[in-house]
Amino acid sequence: MEHARKTFRHIEYVFLDRDGVINRKPPEGKYVCTWHDFHLLPGTEGAIAALNASGRKVIVVTNQRGVALGLYTEDDVRLIHTELQRHLAAYSAHVDAFYFCPHDNAQCSCRKPEIGLFEQAFRDFPDASRANSILIGDSISDIQAARRLAIPSIFIPGEPGSRKPGGVEAEAMAEAIAESLAQAVDRYFPL
């Protein structure tokens, strides 16, 4: 298996999509509005802790269109991220930065597959660049954003019952595939 052999030793900045990577993606048309709706996927805490321990930065980049739809506010998103940090701290894990797009489709330059969230991160972390970054995501828009940025990506297809349109294309475009964040970190970022 070619995928099983690939590692990304030179990577220092690991960009993570949120819903479907860190936490269970809600059913189509549903959104994570509060911490109560945020259910971490198995192994997430350990995977982030391992990335932290390896010296890499962990940066979340997430589309939160539910803000534009009026389902929750930007402060609600920040509150969820604060709760997530509190939860991760018990596992000696943390996220180095969160970036989210609160806009609706096709109205901004930050909703993935646009690359504005990454550009914000590159401004805030001057050592980060296309040469030392990777994205792990579960949507075609994640993989397309990585492609536009010219950074590698790892695609998480998701549970068989909840695979999304574009999955086949995303698998073909991504540099690697994993069943979960935990598996991606185990397989591609050995300590």
Q: Which residues are catalytic?
A: 17, 19
Query: How many other β-carbons are positioned within 10 Å of the β-carbon of residue 52?
Result: 19
Kindly state the helix (H) or strand (E) to which residue 16 belongs, with its residue range: strand 13-16
Residue in 62, 38, 32 with CA at minimum distance from that of residue 135: 62
Within residues 101-140, the interface with Zn ion by CB under 5 A covers 101, 103, 108, 110-111
Nearer to Mg ion, 65 or 94 (CB): 65
Kindly state the helix (H) or strand (E) to which residue 188 belongs, with its residue range: helix 181-188
Q: 19, 81, 95, 145: which one contacts Mg ion (CB under 5 A)?
A: 19
Q: 22, 138, 178, 181: which one contacts Mg ion (CB under 5 A)?
A: 138
Kindly state the helix (H) or strand (E) to which residue 57 belongs, with its residue range: strand 57-63
Of the listed pieces 16-24, 39-47, 101-109, 165-173, which binds Mg ion according to CB under 5 A?
16-24
Of the listed pieces 82-90, 95-103, 144-152, 163-171, which binds Zn ion according to CB under 5 A?
95-103
CA 90 to chain CA mean position, Å: 21
Which letter, b or e, does each residue of 21-40 get, where b requires 16 or more Cβ atoms within 10 Å of its Cβ? bbbbbbeeeebbbeeeebee
Q: Residue count at the site for Mg ion (CB under 5 A)?
A: 5
Min dist CB 154 to Mg ion, Å, is 13
Q: 17, 50, 93, 152: which one contacts Mg ion (CB under 5 A)?
A: 17
Q: Which entry of Zn ion, Mg ion, none binds 19, CB below 5 to 8 A by partner kind?
A: Mg ion
